[in-house]
Amino acid sequence: MNNLSIPPVPPDWWRTLFDETYLQTDARSVLDPEQTRREVDAAIQALDLGPDEAILDLCGGQGRHALEMARRGYGRVLVLDFSLPLLSWGRAQARREGGAVAFVRGDARNLPFGGGSFQAVLCLANSFGYGATRGDDLRILEEACRLLPPGGRLFLEVADPGYVRAHLPPQTWHEAPGDLVVCRRRWLTPEHLVCRELVLSFQKGLVRDCVYQVRLYEPQDLEAHLKDAGFARVAVMPGREPGAAGERGALSRRLAVAAWKE
């Protein structure tokens, strides 16, 4: 990858990107039930989650993990996300499945819950590192820590920076459901993976041209950030393969972290 011609990134790009088009462009990951089941397996195992625990699926999107947990008998899972289209998709799905998951809209930097409301917080599949500053990212971890009682725990998955820097192709395209073709051009900076995404519809032409970025955290940075946020013990599990076949962009390989509040 090279650093030429990196387009400007809107600071709050994440407020608008996650809509119905995203559910199509990323369907091979975020609408893949097998992959979701594997991700839930990993979270349950890492935190030894019990079905009666109050669990927050932070930046949980359309609630695919929470819904899968509800199917397994986890009855107190709540999804917090900013995206109205994803929340409404999730609420409709939850109604079809019996309504065991609650969905709340909010900003993860300022969570609308009291201290100690949850025994565990999940932040899955690269939903972290979008902040305009590192302080924004830290604020999310501080909020997650505030919601937990002593002994509460967090499971967080981010893009594996080693994989991204060494192996993520600078340009890819793939076909997506409907009649879409998704073209991605990527750049690396010392701090970020930047991506320009063009989405083309055979019927409608260009339906999306956007730029977004994710801050890449080395394992030791992530650990330091979690400790700054108030977590006492951090276990980093490097290079987890979610197991799906084929290239899945930055989701192909992840760092998973479990953290405990003292």
Ligand X SMILES: C[S@@+](CC[C@H](N)C(=O)[O-])C[C@H]1O[C@@H](n2cnc3c(N)ncnc32)[C@H](O)[C@@H]1O
Q: Any bridge partners for residue 158, and if so which?
A: 255
Residues that bind ligand X (CB under 6 A): 14, 18, 30, 59-61, 64, 81-83, 86, 107-109, 124-127, 130
| Among 61, 82, 109, CA closest to 229 | 109
Measure the CA–CA gap between 155 and 261, rounded to whole angstroms. 12
Measure the CA–CA gap between 88 and 55, rounded to whole angstroms. 20
User: CA distances (Å), 242 to each of 39, 148, 152, 257, in order?
Assistant: 7, 27, 25, 14
Pinpoint the alpha helices (H) of the chain: 14-17, 20-25, 27-30, 33-47, 64-71, 84-96, 134-147, 161-167, 219-228
Residue 83 CB, shortest distance to ligand X, in Å, is 4
Measured from the CB atom, is 160 or 205 closer to ligand X?
A: 160
Measured from the CB atom, is 126 or 252 closer to ligand X?
A: 126
Residue 191 CB, shortest distance to ligand X, in Å, is 17
Residue 5 CB, shortest distance to ligand X, in Å, is 25
Residue 221 CB, shortest distance to ligand X, in Å, is 19
Residue 256 · residue 156 · CB < 8 Å: yes
Measured from the CB atom, is 64 or 186 closer to ligand X?
A: 64
Measured from the CB atom, is 18 or 187 closer to ligand X?
A: 18
Measured from the CB atom, is 103 or 231 closer to ligand X?
A: 103
| Among 113, 100, 109, CA closest to 68 | 100
Residue 174 CB, shortest distance to ligand X, in Å, is 16
What 8-state DSSP symbol labels residue 247? Answer: -
Cα 40 → chain centroid: 13
Measured from the CB atom, is 226 or 232 closer to ligand X?
A: 226
**β-strands 205-215, 102-105 pairing:** unpaired
Residue 147 CB, shortest distance to ligand X, in Å, is 14
> Which residue is closest to ligand X by CB?
61
Residue 58 · residue 127 · CB < 8 Å: yes
Measured from the CB atom, is 3 or 117 closer to ligand X?
A: 117
Residue 173 CB, shortest distance to ligand X, in Å, is 19
Measure the CA–CA gap between 83 and 206, rounded to whole angstroms. 22
